């Protein structure tokens, strides 16, 4: 299944990949979070006949949806059509997407015993995602008209954000159950993920006796998620993903100190394992202004910026040590043409042509976004008319 990867030098690689690595590019690469979604008539047409999970689990359809969106928009990268929650199934957690509500996990994790029962040995059940990636990679193997190679993005959730779905059972406002489990876990200083591994960790009498039932749940969950997500990402890279984006969409719910104490180590572990596969990692979260310096310690090559953070401030605060992706407000796509044009120009001006900027939104395209506005942004970026 593996596709040979070109060595990135000054003379080859796609502009998207080059930007991930902070190499100079002919123009800013652009793609959109949720570029295949309900705002797009083609996607809605496919959804009339297939559920979201059917699309994800049928490689031909997932590949087609991915390819159609990337080609229609004329963007520089295609993100594989899948969902963050797919790994829950082989781990043993059933879920569904409820219309107008979002994901619902049937038996959310609330105890260490439930976390212990999660399985990490069925990751091959997720290979349908890699099969779709192989199809997308084959489709985009020839260079495009402008000679550039389209980037293929695989993705997975970050440990905190996936754990929040597993514990809350769905989307959440205050993450009360998640934080209860987090705060009940063994404090830093005694064995945590970085110093304990696999079966040994689960059976450690030290960890399981610390502060009553449930106290190990967080660390067990983190460790199991890192195991499964690293394997899942490796499948995607073997199938032809050029880059892996790690979605930590809800990490902005954490204070800097809680992020450092409960999320940084497992996320660093996951990102290190993915980078060891030879691909750059984009690490994305929302509401992360204060977390960005800590997030950069994960070793990610690119940080996704939400629109609340001015791109130039955020990048400077990171000492330009990583590439950045973002950060137009997705709701600016509903603004009058001239206002949208000015907002796009603002983002480009903040990046100032420095190598290592990938244009994107600060979060996903929402339903009912005018398709023409998305196309206008792509046109503006390609035309250099800023």
Q: Does 266 bind ligand CP3 (CB under 6 A)?
A: no
- Interface pick for ligand CP3 out of 14, 35, 268, 288 (rule CB under 6 A): 35
Q: Contact letters (x/-) for ligand CP3, 189-228, by CB under 6 A?
A: ----------------------------------------
Minimum distance from residue 82 beta carbon to ligand CP3 (Å): 6
- Interface pick for ligand CP3 out of 17, 36, 300, 344 (rule CB under 6 A): 36
Query: What secondary structure does DSSP assign to 143-173, as a single string?
Result: --TTSPPPEEEEEEE-HHHHHHHHHHSB--S
Q: Does 335 bind ligand CP3 (CB under 6 A)?
A: no
Residue 302, beta-bridge partner list: 282, 323
Quick one: 336 exposed, middle or buried, by C-beta within 10 A (0-12, 13-18, 19+)?
exposed
Task: Name the one residue in this structure whose structure tokens are 């660390």.
Answer: 219
* Cβ closest to ligand CP3, residue 93 vs residue 201: 93
Give the side-chain half-sphere CA count within 13 A for 300: 31
Cα–Cα dist 273/258, whole Å:
23
For residue 163, what are the contacts with CB-CB under 8 A and spacing of at least 6? 109, 178, 218, 221, 222, 225
Q: Does 155 bind ligand CP3 (CB under 6 A)?
A: yes
State both tokens at 339. 């206002």
Cα–Cα dist 327/358, whole Å:
9
State both tokens at 15. 């502009």
Q: Does 133 bind ligand CP3 (CB under 6 A)?
A: no
Minimum distance from residue 17 beta carbon to ligand CP3 (Å): 18
Q: In terms of DSSP bridges, do strands 95-98 and 102-105 run parallel, antiparallel, or are they unpaired?
A: antiparallel
Q: Does 128 bind ligand CP3 (CB under 6 A)?
A: no
Task: Please name which of 374, 315, 314 lies closest in space to residue 344, comparing C-alpha atoms.
Answer: 374
* Cβ closest to ligand CP3, residue 192 vs residue 280: 280
Q: Does 59 bind ligand CP3 (CB under 6 A)?
A: no
Run of H or E including 98: strand 95-98
Q: Does 81 bind ligand CP3 (CB under 6 A)?
A: yes
* Cα separations in angstroms, 132 against 1, 81, 139, 246, 358: 11, 8, 11, 18, 24
Residues 89-108 that bind ligand CP3 (CB under 6 A): 97, 102-103
* Cβ closest to ligand CP3, residue 53 vs residue 256: 53
Minimum distance from residue 272 beta carbon to ligand CP3 (Å): 21
Part in contact with ligand CP3 (CB under 6 A); list of ranges 83-91, 136-144, 235-243, 334-342: 83-91
Query: Cβ-closest residue to ligand CP3?
Result: 249
Minimum distance from residue 1 beta carbon to ligand CP3 (Å): 21
* DSSP secondary structure letter of residue 24: -
Q: Does 283 bind ligand CP3 (CB under 6 A)?
A: no
Q: Does 159 bind ligand CP3 (CB under 6 A)?
A: no
Question: Are 227 and 122 spatial neighbours (Cβ–Cβ below 8 Å)?
Answer: no
Residues 337-376 that bind ligand CP3 (CB under 6 A): 364
Contacting residues toward ligand CP3, per CB under 6 A: 33-38, 47, 52, 79, 81, 83-85, 97, 102-103, 155, 171, 247, 249, 364
């Amino acid at each position: 299944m593996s596709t040979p990867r070109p060595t990135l030098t000054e003379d080859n690689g796609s502009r998207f990949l080059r930007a991930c690595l902070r190499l100079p590019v002919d123009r800013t690469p652009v793609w959109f979070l949720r570029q295949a979604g309900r705002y797009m008539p083609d996607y809605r047409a496919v959804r009339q006949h297939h559920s979201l999970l059917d699309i994800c689990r049928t490689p031909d359809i997932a590949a087609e949806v991915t390819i159609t969106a990337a080609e229609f928009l004329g963007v520089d990268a295609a993100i594989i059509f899948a969902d963050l929650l797919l790994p829950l199934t082989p781990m043993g957690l059933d879920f569904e997407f409820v219309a107008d509500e979002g994901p619902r996990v049937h038996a959310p994790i609330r105890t260490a015993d439930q976390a212990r029962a999660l399985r990490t040995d069925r990751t091959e059940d997720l290979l349908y995602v890699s099969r779709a990636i192989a199809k997308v990679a084959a489709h985009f193997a020839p260079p495009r008209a402008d000679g550039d190679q389209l980037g293929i993005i695989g993705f997975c959730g970050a440990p905190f954000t996936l754990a929040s779905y597993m514990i809350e059972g769905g989307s959440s406002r205050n993450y009360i159950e998640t934080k209860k489990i987090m705060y009940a876990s063994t404090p830093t200083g005694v064995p945590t993920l970085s110093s304990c591994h696999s079966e040994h960790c689960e059976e450690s009498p030290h960890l399981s006796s610390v502060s009553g039932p449930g106290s190990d749940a967080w660390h067990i969950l983190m460790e199991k998620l890192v195991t499964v997500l690293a394997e899942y990402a490796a499948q995607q890279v073997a199938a032809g993903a050029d880059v892996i984006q790690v979605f930590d969409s809800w990490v902005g719910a954490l204070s800097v100190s809680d992020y450092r104490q409960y999320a940084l180590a497992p996320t660093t572990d996951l990102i290190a394992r993915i980078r060891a596969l030879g691909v750059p990692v984009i690490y994305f979260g929302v509401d992360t202004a204060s977390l960005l310096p800590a997030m950069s310690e994960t070793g990610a090559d690119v940080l996704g910026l939400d629109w609340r953070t001015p791109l130039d401030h955020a990048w400077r605060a990171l000492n330009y040590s990583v590439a950045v992706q973002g950060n137009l407000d997705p709701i600016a796509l509903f603004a009058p043409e001239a206002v949208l044009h000015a907002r796009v120009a603002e983002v480009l001006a903040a990046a100032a042509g420095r190598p290592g900027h990938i244009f994107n939104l600060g979060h996903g395209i929402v339903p009912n976004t005018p398709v023409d506005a998305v196309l206008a942004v792509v046109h503006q970026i390609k035309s250099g008319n800023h």
